[in-house]
Amino acid sequence: MKEKRFWLRTIILAMMLVAIGYTIYSNVFVDKKAIQVGDSAPDFVLTDLNGNKVQLSDYRGKGVFLNFWGTWCKPCEKEMPYINRQYDVYKNEGVEVIAVNVGEAKVTVQTFVDRFQLTFPIVIDQQDQVMNAYDINPLPTTFLIDKDGKVVDIITGTMTEEDVKKHMERIKP
């Protein structure tokens, strides 16, 4: 009985060591290819504040202004009204905004949305899967995606309202 327990523990320990070794190897030695201009934007499905599924590929045929942000991010807070005003203009010209919040509580995000009266789709990336897929750092970061799903540009840092307008113009189908 003791010998059986010994072998069982040894096997479990060996499996744990293999798993830990693989995790370290994949995080240190395997290159994550960052998304670059010209690449296809990775598809994703997230839920908006109303409980509706938002899938990037559903927006094919439109330009997508994909913005990653947080309520605590002062530069994000500054550009949100600019994005909202330009969205009101460009949504009728084939440009959509998807604002991906980076894992905050729904109530926190909803309070922010209400405060700034934002009208574009807001989704929350609870497990940071989309943020990791897009290799986001720092916030805010915006991906300009054309009607064919290709990344046209990647903008990091705060934009002025004029910047937002120019960028939306660039992805207009």
Residues 86-108: pLDDT tens digits? Answer: 999 999 999 999 999 998 999 99
Q: How far apart are CA 86 and CA 168, in angstroms?
A: 8
pLDDT at 112 over 50: yes
pLDDT confidence of residue 58? 96
For residues 63 and 153, the answer to whether their CB atoms sit within 8 Å is no
* Residue-level pLDDT at 30: 46
Banded pLDDT at 13 (limits 50, 70, 90): confident
Cα separation, 83 vs 32, whole angstroms: 30
Other CB atoms within 10 Å distance of the CB of residue 123: 21
Q: Pick 72 or 7 by higher pLDDT.
A: 72
Residue 25 tokens read as 């190897």
Token readout for 129 is 């899967």
Give the mean model confidence (pLDDT) for residues 114-136.
93
Mean confidence (pLDDT) of the chain:
90
